Amino acid sequence: MSRRVKRPLRPAGDRPKGARPYRGSSAERPPAHRPGGKPAARFAASPPRASKPVVAEPAKVAPEPPPLPTKVQTVVVTADESNMRVDRFLEARFPGLSFSHIQRIVRKGELRVNGKRADSKDRLEEGQSVRIPPLKLDAPKGSGTLSEAATKTLHALKEMTLFEDADVMVLNKPAGLAVQGGSGITRNVDLMLEVMRDAKGQKPRLVHRLDRETSGCLLIAKTRFAATALTGSFRHRSARKIYWALVAGVPKPKQGRISTYLAKEESEDDSIMRVAKHGDEGASHAVTYYAVVETSAQKLAWVSLKPVTGRTHQLRAHMAHIDHAIVGDPKYFNKENWDLPGGLQNRLHLLARRLVIPHPRGGVIDVSAPLPPHMLQSWNLLGLEHDRFDPIENAPEE
């Protein structure tokens, strides 16, 4: 269903601070879609609308995943699972588990990696042994009408929905709404999904995550089958994501590739991702393609970003690394004596604009999210045309 193309030519030397230009070619352009033809492997040139997946064949009955273990078991991390976080490893192996259950067994030390306690954010390596305690699904809630609060929550989820069918939902997560719980967080998407539990007690599951202040496309699996398939698509990088951001200054070259290693740096009050060296403890390779779509004088640029890898804060750390931090970023905006232009809100200007991913039952899900209110205000004030062609769509996929 996909087509491999030649990677574009690149100059022999890296550009400063990890940015390298790429040159597009006709080989990178997507073929015109023909009725009855295969879906294009590249992104289409025109801005897409939220659409239902094109089902290539009648839906098949998917086999149920293996039952949850009722006693302690030890499993070995496979090559496909290497570098996965502990919590995502459990979600992939046992899609029915709730986030709170996963956090609980990890926090209590019931899950062990090579005999040692692990944190939910620790990354696994191929060949490691993982001790898994007995697991159980959350008990289904009693039947009956939803409470007033639950009804409001359900309505809020429906208002956010960009796409939905029996297996999948794509939400337009607003900026400021956390995806999962944490210290000081009382409202989050994972908790909101509790109101969508089915008769068997199963609730929709998060497939990936967005930072709290990042808005846009958030993928949700409504069934175990979909959770397994979609998680696999992210793991094997068959999902395509495009982000939009407003950054300080104008990146040169205007199209490029950022390739670094990133590692978490902890402090008493906070943690950030820093650029690290290969071999540093906890360092993971991260690759991002960027393209300048439009500029406002030489002070600001609208950039389109295409992450190849999915590291924590990857886009934010990468843009700061090439000295073009994202406007309103409280963690990574590091430009001294830089004043926010009048009328722009000091909020993170980062949107998960577009998501293209194989549908678990055939065809492709291709959904776009609109600019959130604070970014739309900035676009209007700066005279940026938000319906322009997005040049990042021709970026390589590896």
Alpha carbon 336 to its chain's center: 30
Q: What is the dihedral of CA 297, 256, 230, 95, to 10 degrees?
A: -90
Q: Rounded to 5 degrees, what are φ and ψ at 386?
A: -75, -5
The answer to whether the beta carbons of residues 379 and 347 sit under 8 Å apart is no
Residue type at 159 in one-letter notation: E
Per the residue annotation, which of 211, 329, 366, 390 is the catalytic one?
A: 211
DSSP summary character for residue 327: T
Alpha carbon distances (Å) from 346 to 173, 241, 322, 330:
19, 25, 21, 9
How far apart CA 17 and CA 275 sit, in angstroms, is: 10
Distance of CA 81 to the CA centre of its chain: 18
CB 128 within 8 A of CB 114: yes
d(Cα 154, Cα 149) in Å, to the nearest integer? Answer: 9
The answer to whether residue 211 is catalytic is yes
Give DSSP secondary structure letters for 58-73: PPPPPPPPPPPPSS-E
- Residues forming the active site: 211
